[in-house]
Amino acid sequence: MASNLGRLFTTLAEQSKPKLGFLSSRSETGTLFKSNAARRLISSSTPSSNQQENPKKEREVAEEEISSEPKMSLENDFKDDEDEGNEDDGDDGESVHVNKETGEVGGPKGPEPTRYGDWERAGRCSDF
């Protein structure tokens, strides 16, 4: 990783190419951008995080990981914040899910929650 990404951001900004004009079908209420330069900067003045290192590879991995249980039962999902229902049973002797790839005990079934960088369960993101 570059040791001084601060300078890299500015360099990226200067190098990025202008985009095509917008396909607006309506007149804009209020001018958000003074120029095309500002518009392209939305994409370039951002530190690129690790999360998108290998989006293709991660997508393939994600598809391979499609759970052998295609239908996830809703009880296992993090569904509702107010849902005080069934807490994790942990290791109390009932069959606990062990992730074959990672060896994780009692963890979430299905695709790895962090495969796209954020923390997701059954589609709902709770940390990023």
Tokens of 88: 């994790």
Sites for another protein among residues 79-108 (CB under 8 A): 79, 81, 88, 90, 98, 102-108
Q: Which is nearer to another protein, 28 or 94 (CB)?
A: 28
Helix (H, G, I), strand (E, B) or coil at 121: strand
Measured from the CB of residue 39, what is the shortest distance to another protein in angstroms?
Answer: 7
Cα–Cα separations (whole angstroms), residue 19 to 24, 33, 37, 118: 14, 13, 9, 28
Q: Which is nearer to another protein, 81 or 94 (CB)?
A: 81
Sites for another protein among residues 51-80 (CB under 8 A): 51-52, 55, 58-59, 62, 66-67, 70-72, 74, 77-79
